[in-house]
Structure 1
């Protein structure tokens, strides 16, 4: 298979993954509304274990059925999302038909209270959403930067360990412990949203600041045990921030504009993911050392912290949307 054909297929797969995430994101908001943050952080935490299971499952299928067979089975596994989406839509339609007609509401001069899920329709697009919630661009910039930092760290952690003089088997410990820390960080966010602490600056600036400091310390650390410790803490911080950003999307806007902003939120995350390789790779090519990449990630983490502080601070001061409370 040519490189161009492979890139085209991977692009299509990436588009499919992105599109499949948006309906789930919106469905959670419609279903849980004010508890969206808790629900979404729990879903992200559980989904993280699925991500860890997939490589093992693919390897088992590859040994048993070959590379082509394993990819076919993986594609078939993804079709469960179509079934889930159909069941979700069927359930929503059934509940809508079963709703009793309130005759008094029809004859009363007082208009009945609108259904919150209905308020998510006809939002007027992203332009009207930004007018109503001017903090959105700042928050999406923070999302893009965070994804750039996180993906770059994941990509270059293993070769960075090799560059420091360790074997590939030893360097894998860095990614393994970092991945475990990432899962733990996502789990912590569940309690933050459950306790309604998601807007407390100290609970989001602390992990960003800690990750920033550890990026610098990693450059000057050569001991494997210390590197593993730093990798685990960075993983916790990045996993925490990643899950918080996804779940905080409901707090940054109202239900009426949520549909319009969901796709743009995914776009900001995808942009950061796409740019991570070329930008970090360009930094590496300047002097041919991964030390420069980690310094670059440190600078980005500082910029990310500033944009998040601005987003939360402005969001607190912004008035409620004309269509209702956030």
Structure 2
């Protein structure tokens, strides 16, 4: 229906300008989709912390299991729907499936009332100096003040940004990696399933680490990202199906531990008064990383003409993140308990 309009616009704009503008408008639907996912996920995240204050990391990791089940199941399901109905109808059906979030939203329970405020005199005395030192932050940067009050959380944000760049670069091109290695598309899709299975198992391990109180900077980030970087380097050299499948399982496992660990460890790095702000910052950082990760990895693939360079880039990021993690691990400052007026 818009073809006549496009023809008229070509008298004013070049092909490139029109293509860029059309691409922007076409992709705008995905912006709406992302906003919807954020609006649906954020309340659930905070409500989990309200209902499971002491067991929040385990509860969050358990909920993440279902995310990775979706990653394992949906790619082959979408491929099957495409063979039955074609791409357009398959994506319409896929979009309809996401409407399950509507009744899920109605099913959310109200938050459990929290206990009283901190009333220890030492806390108020300590923060009298803190408020003077951070007067500029409280006045002009109150929307991100937790980054200044909780230094380890600020380091976690940098690490999470790098991890999200790694994750999106790894996840976007798994099928392309398989086809570039000579696999048929039907076989390459299995790599996405292996990624979901590996991430599921990694999240299960994260639940165990939280249960036994063994989750820290090393187990949530340092070791998983180190092994992940080695696995990503291996993916750039693998050519047969079994090697690709094994390394995809390994990297998915590491990223599952890493993602679940970083999200679940937030309550131990920030006070309860800064928790919701920290959650918002986390989602914002993830969104920025996913956006730029897709753009950067896509540009690398277009520039060098091979998916292998994308995985080399992701491996490099895995190693770049390690110094930040070591700074976090070596910083032994306790989690500051802030008063409500510091939020």
State the 1:18 CA deviation.
Answer: 0.8
Matched, 1:114 2:117: yes
Which sections of structure 1, spanning at least 5 residues, go unmatched? Answer: 100-111, 117-123
Matched, 1:303 2:320: yes
Q: Which residue of 1 aligns with 2:129?
A: none
Shift in CA distance, 285/257, structure 1 to aligned 2, threshold 3 Å: same
Q: Which residue of 1 aligns with 2:16?
A: none
Superposed CA deviations along residues 209-253 of structure 1, whole A, max 9, x for unmatched, are 111111112222222212211111111111111111111121221
Shift in CA distance, 47/298, structure 1 to aligned 2, threshold 3 Å: closer
Shift in CA distance, 28/75, structure 1 to aligned 2, threshold 3 Å: closer
Of stretches 305-314 and 211-220 in structure 1, the one that deviates more from structure 2 is: 305-314
After TM superposition, the score normalised by the length of structure 1 is: 0.79
Q: Which residue of 2 aligns with 1:131?
A: 148
Q: Which residue of 2 aligns with 1:288?
A: 305
Helix, strand or coil for the counterpart of 2:28?
helix
8 A contact 1:58–1:70 mirrored in 2? no
Q: Which residue of 1 aligns with 2:34?
A: 14
Structure 1: how far apart are the matches of 2:296 and 2:309? 12
Structure 2: how far apart are the matches of 1:265 and 1:208? 19
Matched, 1:173 2:173: no
Helix, strand or coil for the counterpart of 2:216?
coil
Shift in CA distance, 58/323, structure 1 to aligned 2, threshold 3 Å: farther
8 A contact 1:44–1:186 mirrored in 2? yes
State the 1:202 CA deviation.
Answer: 4.7
Helix, strand or coil for the counterpart of 1:198?
coil
Larger RCO (alpha carbons 8 Å, 6+ apart): 1
Helix, strand or coil for the counterpart of 1:135?
helix
8 A contact 2:144–2:281 mirrored in 1? no
Mapping of 1:70-85 within 5 angstroms?
Answer: 70=93, 73-74=96-97, 76-85=99-108
State the 1:5 CA deviation.
Answer: 4.2
Shift in CA distance, 313/34, structure 1 to aligned 2, threshold 3 Å: farther
Matched, 1:32 2:44: no
Which sections of structure 2, spanning at least 5 residues, go unmatched? Answer: 3-21, 120-137
8 A contact 1:218–1:230 mirrored in 2? yes
Number of residue pairs matched? 296
After TM superposition, the score normalised by the length of structure 2 is: 0.76
Structure 2: how far apart are the matches of 1:153 and 1:210? 14
State the 1:20 CA deviation.
Answer: 1.5
- 2:230 pairs with 202, 213, 234, which one? 213
When the two chains are superposed, the root-mean-square deviation of aligned CA atoms in Å is 3.1
